[in-house]
Structure 1
Amino acid sequence: MTAGHDRTRPASPVEDPHSGTHQREARMRSLRKRTMRGLGLGLVLALVLAACGNGDEPSVDEPDTDAEAVDPDAGPFTIGVSNGFTASEWRTQMISNLEEAVEEYAAEGLEIDLIIENDDVDEAGQIEQIRNLVNAGVDAIIINPNSPDALNAAFDEAAAEGVLIYAVDQAVTSQSVTNVVINQNQWAQISAEWLADQLDEGAEIVMVNGIAGHPANEARVSGAMEVLEGAGIEILANTNADWSQAEGQSVMQELLSQYGDQIDGVWAQDGVAEGVLRALIDADRLDLVTTGEARAGYLRLWDENDVDTIGVINPPGVAVTALRVALLELQGGTVDEAELTDGNTILLPMPDSFTNDNLDEALARAEGEPDGYSLDLILSEAEVAQFFE
């Protein structure tokens, strides 16, 4: 029976000099650990059966067990999840996706115990989350990391214990980890290019971002600024709204008050864009060109107000894609090194983007979903298998 546990305990940069061998070594340690666990269980079972048989003393010299009868590839598997930021519908959807996927695997006969460390923590707290999961005996960890490198020492400790580790949404530098991510830099450039095309050279804009220092945020800001500055767009202000719609609305109101008619456009990330749009609506400033997001609430507000904007999918389902990668590795598969970027990164295909040309398609995909729902993309088992030898 599949179980889910939600642990809400609060959770040194060490760059490994070697190539991506650490994750392969961790997989071998994990398989050996699981095999020994299965052999130990088989030995205990043999002793019990012998003792309950004809009354003879059980023999430890010739236990009725066979290594071939123990199949560590068939599960059960224990998968840990580390999430250090909870104030986001996107993260809630990420966790829900994983729980639903585990239920689907259970219906197919594969037992997965999901242990979730889920709380608002800093890097030190997320290190504690990782160690909690290792101590719980997980086979693999799926983590949405708070830092690209501050967790590396904890990753190395986990890998040394035979735990496979997968970073989702945001990439990390540790070669003990396999990143399963979209290219966040490229993701941001799609909407930045659209915005630049709508504006004249010399136009002035403001930027409303996520959480300063988070890997995805930094990659997005870098990618967007490269495009915008290259197009001759002037950036009046580069602000953060902590991936909160309420904060996005508040920040945009302040920017309108400070810069007024000087603003020609807005580049806003997902997680804040609906708040930004609400601020523009309230201020009667829909003359400003703004980027948006592929979330149900934003899409509906876009449609109701006849806005010219863009939304690019940022898929919470990346965590389920990483789960599929983890299960294939735990079952003995090997990621094809030719499919890796930077030695440790599986770059997923860029999801769909939407403008007024295909808004109806986006609205149809969001039908019946709550406003906080993000249009999603989860790779199938067959699609994930293409990254393997």
Structure 2
Amino acid sequence: MTPMTTKLTGAIALLMLSTAVGHAEPFKIAVSNSYIGNEWRVQMINFMQAYADKALKDKVVLTVDNSGTDAQKQIAVLSDMIASGANAILVNPASDTALNSVIEEACAQGITVIAFDQPVTAPCAYVVAVDFNEIGRIHAQWLADALGGKGNVIINRGVSGFPADTNMNAGMTGVLAKYPDIKVVAEVYGKWDNAVSQQELTKALTANPEVDGILNQYGTYGALQALLNLDRPLVAMSGQGENGWRQAMLQYKDKGLKGVSAGDPAVIGAYALKVAADILSGNPPADKRVAVPVPTVSTDTLKPGVNVFPDLPPTLDADSEIPGANLGLKIADGMKK
């Protein structure tokens, strides 16, 4: 064997070894968050920082940047993260397509990129997200079972044209199509807002005196207020993971309210951080698309202090764990400022 061959063989062996064991700790992980204007996003960041402190202490150096809804600003932030020598970038994107070029640049430099909560279309990026179509299916199947496969239903949608609304509604209507005795008597756009949902459902309930169930993408507490203000019987309803909806489920359980709560959990950022640390340690997931199981709670499975918090603000997302993830976080971890 020649000296050149020996050097080449050694270099290949070193490359194979570094690939097998991943990057050296502590990993430099940068988080690029877009919108930070609601409590869900604040919780998301708090959960990520808590997971880094608790589960990844001395293993990661975590930095966070909130750039707002302007995709161009987020592109500039991502460029800075590349230049800083990050090992991994976690991005909650302002756009599913506008960031692709800078994401591809990061990948070309050996940086692991994970889009979480919302997907991107750059092929090199991992995506850690719930399936909004699946959330819609969970809501609708629960309601169909609660109604015994028949009844009049109102659908309270989100914001027209947004992918989350389109996908969640497709999941709902796909399930309802299997039940010909369930009739959709009204469809409203509550814009994922309690006040708008209350206003729109008040009109729909007034126009439809016989309603047996309401499918809510969000704004479930507003839907409940519409029923109460009209002195209508409490009907089976679905909603996402907001603490206020679960508080209402608990409060009105003995008055006939049946409900399910299933949605996109704020703790998803911590789960994405866990995936990033695994990848950098040489243990990547089997697929680029990591499906996040949807935390689901019904009226029958409410547990105060575990998945509903009577003494905490109704605006909180009530989930601090993702099924099977074993993150080890508590609701208080998402409330740190």
TM-score, normalised with respect to structure 1: 0.67
**How much has 1:186 moved relative to structure 2?**
1.8
> After the TM superposition, which segments of 4 or more aligned residues of structure 1 sit over 6 Å from their partners?
none
State the partner residue of 1:365: 307
Q: What is the aligned partner in structure 1 of residue 108 from structure 2? A: 160
Who is 1:43 aligned against? none
1:327 Cα deviation after fit? 1.8
Residues of 1 paired with 2:327 and 2:280: CA distance?
14
Distance in 1 between residues matched to 2:23 and 2:33, nearest whole Å:
24
- CA displacement, residues 322-354 of structure 1 (integer Å, 9 cap, x when unaligned): 1111122223x1425xx32xxx20123343x22
Q: How many Å separate the matches in 1 of 2:80 and 2:183?
A: 46
Where structure 2 has 5 or more consecutive residues not aligned to the other structure, the ranges are 1-14, 329-337
CA shift in 2, pair 1:313/1:100, >3 Å? same
Asked if 1:248 is matched to 2:197, the reply is yes
* Residue 206 of structure 1 pairs with residue 149 of structure 2: no
Q: Does structure 2 retain, via aligned residues, the 8 Å contact 1:354–1:362?
A: no
CA distance in 2, matches of 1:363, 1:238: 35
Check whether the contact 1:171–1:216 (CA below 8 A) recurs between aligned residues: no
2:31 aligns with 80
Partner of 1:115, secondary structure, is: strand
Give, as a single letter, the amino acid of the residue that structure 1 aligns with 2:229: D
For the pair 1:375 / 2:324, whether they are aligned, the reply is no
Stretch moving more, 235-244 or 314-323 = 235-244
CA distance in 2, matches of 1:224, 1:176: 31
Which residue matches 1:170? Answer: 118
RMSD between superposed Cα atoms in Å: 3.2
Q: 1:230 aligns to what SS in structure 2? A: coil
- Mark the CA change 1:381 to 1:206 in structure 2 (over 3 Å): closer, same or farther: closer
CA spacing shift, 1:240–1:73, aligned 2, 3 Å: farther
| Contact kept in structure 1, 2:249 and 2:299, CA below 8 Å | no
- Between the aligned residues of both structures, percent identity stands at 24
Amino acid at match of 1:191: H
Question: 1:183, CA displacement in angstroms?
Answer: 2.9
Shift of 1:191: 1.5
Q: Is the 8 A contact 2:154 2:186 kept in 1?
A: yes
Change (3 A) 1:99 1:209: farther
2:227 matched residue in structure 1? 280
Answer yes or no: is the 8 Å Cα contact 2:74–2:94 preserved in 1.
Answer: yes
- Contact 2:159–2:189 (CA<8 Å) still a contact in 1? yes
Task: Report the count of equivalent residues.
Answer: 302
What secondary structure, in the 3-state scheme, does the structure 1 residue paired with 2:91 have? strand
Deviations 1:38-78 (A, max 9, x none): xxxxxxxxxxxxxxxxxxxxxxxxxxxxxxxxx95112514
1:217 aligns with 2:165: yes
Distance 2:202 2:102 in 1: 41
